[in-house]
Each structure stands twice: as C-alpha cells, then as structure tokens.
Amino acid sequence: MLYLDTANLDQIKRAEEIGIIQGVTTNPTILLKESQQREEIIKAILAVTNGTVFVQTVGTTDKDILSDARHILAAFQDERIALKIPAHLEGIKAMKRMKSEQSDVAILATAIYSTEQNVLAAIAGADYVAPYINRMQNNRIDAYEVIAETRKIYDEQQLATKILAASFKNTGQIIQTLCAGAHTVTIPYDLLTSMANKELALGAIQQFNKDAATLTSKGDQNE
C-alpha cells in the first residue's frame, strides 16, 4: 500500500488518477500550507479521494487529545476517517482509551523517533505507526535500524500493527525503508512522481514513441 502525504487537492486528484494510492495522511503543518480550516479541507479531501484520510488530533493531555479525537469523528461521520495521535505518553494513553471506546476506528501513531515508541503504540492498540525517517536521519538516529527492530518485534510478538513510515526527502530513503521492513509509506507528491519519471526511462520512452511514429509513417508510404 502507498499513501500520499499532503492536503493539496490538485496533488490528491492527480494521485487518484494514477489509481495506486490507498489514502491521504495529514497533520496540522500540512493543513496550514493550504490556508484553510481543518474541517473545510478534510471535507474537500474526502470528496476527491476514495481512500482513508488520516486526521491528526491536537492537545497537550490525554483528555485533550481524546476530546479532539471524538470531535473529529463526530464532525465528519465518514468511515474513511482515521485518527493520527502522537506517540508520547499522553498520546499513548489517549490511543488506549480511544480503542476502548471505539475499537473499529483506525489509529496511526505519529511523531515517532524510536523503536520504544513503536512498541508502546502497538501495545496501546495503534493500527499503524509512523516513524519519521528523514527527521531521524537528520538527528543521527539510524532510521532503518528502528524499522528493522520494530518489524522484528511485531513479527515475533505477532502484533497486528503496521509500519507506515513517513518523512522522506528522496526516493532512496523510501526504498531503504521498505527494504528494512516497513509495511508501507506515506510520501509527498513530488517523490511519487520521481519514483516513476526517471530521466533514463523518459528518454527511452521518447525514443520508442519517435521510432513508432517513423514506423507508422513508412507503413503509410507503402500503402
């Protein structure tokens, strides 16, 4: 599975046309770039995509986070809405309580920089965890080791939580993350484009099209 990390409607529409995106992940920083209120932009995203839409909770305490989670679910009334909850101690508490209230709501534990956070989030009932790959690398944390350790623990302990890695700056990071054991990733639109539109590939395709046109022209001349 592959997710798109953006709230830009044009990018989401283009990605939807490709047909391989499973959903969209957002956070307050991403939403701020679109200069619209959360409810407004999320409703617009739901209207242009068929997949899951992850909405991040805000708050400083578990009670604040849980209250916002309830507000999100009530505001949209759509089974495609999933919650993103930060994986600090207050967030872990909120995840556990949210799952106790409504077990069918998908939760993505976010703001993750360690294997320990991944373990706690899984125990709390998170369906997904979002380790921040590029941010870990920038802070001299071996992101790929975190992924490998987490996957090993999940598999050995038979935990159902999936690794949905985030925070990428290049396509090499995406591939290394998947090789390390991540189940899936969420990426910005420009990296989705870069994964397919390789310069050498585009050059070869251009030549194929040119040769095909020449072949067609010769066929017309022979008629």
Structure tokens at 23: 């959903």
Left (φ > 0), alpha (ψ -120 to 50) or beta: where does 119 sit? alpha
Give DSSP secondary structure letters for 149-165: HHHHHHHHTT---EEEE
Q: What is the DSSP string of 127-157?
A: SEEEEBHHHHHHTT--HHHHHHHHHHHHHHT
Of 33, 63, 84, 152, the catalytic one is: 84
84 is catalytic: yes
DSSP at 166? B
Task: Return the active site residues.
Answer: 84
